[in-house]
Amino acid sequence: MKQAVILAGGKGTRLASVLKGLPKPLVDVCGKPLLLHQLELLCAHGFTDAVVMVNHRADAIREWLAGVDLPISVRLIDDGEPRGTAGAVLAALEEALKADRAPTKVLQFNDFGLVAITRKRVKQSLERTLSVPCPTCQATGMVKSPTTVCNEIYIELRKMKKHFEGADVLLRVNPETVKVLKSNNAAWLNEFEELVGKNILVKSDVTLHPEQFDIQG
């Protein structure tokens, strides 16, 4: 559907002697009202729908439209209080946006002659539609660093050291944590063994969450 907007709310003050009480859109031009010329021209160029923004003498224009057979579908919108050309454009835009299910707000023209429109999203973004929350970070975007996990292991070993019965302690951790445990000449691992007084066997387990660890002993 091709739609056009015709601004027809002006008083036509400079044409007062010609109008003789008629609203400007109905002034006679070559035997036909000006508005009819415009509507026929739109129809000739493939437009199927016209929105006519009226204000001054809107009743006369509405009455004229009701009595003629038009070649195009016409909707009349009364702009209410006169707001000038810019106001009529904004009113037409607001009317067109009523078909949008998303809440919208039309702002005023800016210094560049542009209209800003705010539109509230009512559907999820394409990214959210095609994605699921990250199972690793639970959609937070962050996980604890391997160093932080090593600190937590140390705290847990300190709590458990009195309860270890075997000669060795088995420590299962994520592969990323293993890298930190064995870095710097296994500084973390040496500190763990000194804390519990036992040999600690480290097992890499890819099934563990980066923040998880398991201590058996």
Distance, CA of 50 to CA of 52 (rounded, Å):
6
Distance, CA of 58 to CA of 190 (rounded, Å):
90
Q: Strand 73-78 vs strand 49-54: parallel, antiparallel, or unpaired?
A: parallel
pLDDT digits (tens, 9 = 90+) for 99-145: 777 788 877 777 777 777 777 766 666 777 777 777 777 777 888 99
Please provide the size of the chain in residues.
217
pLDDT digits (tens, 9 = 90+) for 26-65: 888 888 888 889 988 988 898 888 888 887 888 888 888 8
Please name the residue that has the structure tokens 């003789």.
20
3-119 homologous superfamily? Spore Coat Polysaccharide Biosynthesis Protein SpsA; Chain A (3.90.550.10)
* pLDDT reported for residue 147: 94
Element (H, E) at 193: helix 175-196
pLDDT surpassing 70 at residue 68: yes
Distance, CA of 144 to CA of 156 (rounded, Å):
16
CATH 3.90.550.10 residue ranges of the chain are 3-119
Structural tokens at position 204: 């890499």
* pTM of the complete model: 0.43
Element (H, E) at 18: helix 16-19
CATH 3.40.1260.20 residue ranges of the chain are 146-216
Amino acid in position 209: H
User: What is the dotted CATH code of the domain comprising 146-216?
Assistant: 3.40.1260.20
